Each structure stands twice: as structure tokens, then as C-alpha cells.
Structure 1
Amino acid sequence: MPVTVNHTGITVRDLDRAEAIFRDLFGFETYSRAPRDPAIISAVTGVPGTRVEIIYMRNGATNIELLCYSGPDGRQDYRPRPVDLGSLHMAMNVTEMDEMLEKARAWPMEQVGEVIEIDQGPNTGSRIVYFRTPEEGLIIEMIEKKAP
């Protein structure tokens, strides 16, 4: 039986801001937004008292799920470094790296490291950089492929 990726879920603090970043900066389109039944979400997450509103967005074949939890109380904020176990990042292909750097900084998003050129692997010759969203701490990598 073939297995394919359905979506990547990202927990966010501010649903409107996260939707705007993915829409305006990275070209995603919203195709669903709604709260979910707390009993069902509590059963799925294994956390009693869970309340959430969810947005589904797409860019081509890539789907993301933005989840904004309003319960239960006592939720925590984790900000793993890119090298820490359990850390995830999302990579975006861009065509004008310098322009995207300025746009990302204007949101504002924090540049984590330096813009570097990859010297090996499938992205050899590409320029990459990591940014972190201030609200949720999501690491977003931008990749500018080497011109053919």
C-alpha cells in the first residue's frame, strides 16, 4: 500500500498572522478554516480540555495545517534550536533570495544564521538561509536554486 504525505501541522499562537505569513510571503492559499469539536480533538491529542481552530493552506502539492489552541490552560512554549532532537523546519524554494530576505525581515522574522552556498548534496550551488518566526518559533529555510 503506497504512503504519501497529507500535510504538515504547525502549532501557532496567532492564527491570522501565521496565515498572512504563509499567504503573503510564501504564496499559500487557504482552503479551510474552522474550530474543531473539543471532545474529538481531546481524544486525538490525548490532552483533556483541548480547544483548537485550524486553517488548511496549500501551495501546489504542499499542504500545511495551522493549529491555534485556546485550551487547555498551561500550554507551553518550546523553542528548540535547529540542532535539537525533535526540531523541525520547513524549506521554501525562492527565486530572488535578496528580495525574500528583506520581505522576511519586514514581518519581522529573525534570521537565525548566515546565507550560505551549499557545497554538496542535492542542493549543491544553491544559497540557503534559516529564519525563525517570532510568534511560534518555526524555522523556515529559504533555498535559492543555482541557475542552470
Structure 2
Amino acid sequence: MSAPTIDHIGIIVQNLERSIAMFERLFHLKPSKIKNMPEVGLKIAQLNAANINIELLQYLGKEESLAKKTMGAKPGINHLSIEVEDIMASLKDLGGKDLKVMEGFPRQGSHGLVAFFEPETTAGILLEVCEKAKRRGHRA
């Protein structure tokens, strides 16, 4: 088995615009995409560094949402996303290794099909697998 590709790290922020401005001021990183996802309660900005993508996540409201239920409400580094070729095959393989998929997944994310795993089955790490939309012949 070859080494996995890290797709992105997710960081929950309180103010997306202020966080974008900070990354631009300090590191000259501008968002490649900003996307509202009201169906899960998020606004997302994607920043592409030379060796990894950074996904800034701001909750759209104070009420409970799928995003808050999945990721928690605490700001800071939140999750690690691993890119996979075939999400369904990966879920079957990882399920056979005692990882448990969170309820409501897989589902469409901001950049393709995604699934999160229950942290108690991943040594406490919030782990996501991601099949990019282009792999299925769609555009993100």
C-alpha cells in the first residue's frame, strides 16, 4: 500500500474574513474558493499552500447543525482529510479495520464525497476521507 495523500487540514475559525486576511497578510495565501453550505451550517474558504490545502470553516449560526454535530464547536485545528480513489471501497476497507463511519456519511462535501469517522475508533483524531468530485467525472 502506498502512502496516503493528505487532502487538507480543517481549521474552525470564529471569523472567516478576519482569518483569510491574516493568512493573506502573513503568508500571501488567498482563497482559491469560498463556499456557503447552509445545508450543513458552514461557510468554507480553501487556501492552497505549496504542500497542503487549508480549509477554514466558519459556522453560519449558533444553532446545532450537521457540521457542529460532526466537528464540535471549538475553534482551532479540527480534522485531517485523506484523499481516496474510491470512497465506498475505502469505507468498506476501513470498516473492516474497526473504524466506524459517523451517522449521515458519506455525503457531498465542499470538494467531493466525504465521510468522517467516530473519533473513539481513530485514537481520538477526527479523520475524514475525501473522494474528489473530479474522480467521479463531476466538477467541484
What TM-score comes out, normalization by structure 1 length? 0.41
Larger RCO (CA under 8 A, 6+ residues apart): 2
What TM-score comes out, normalization by structure 2 length? 0.43
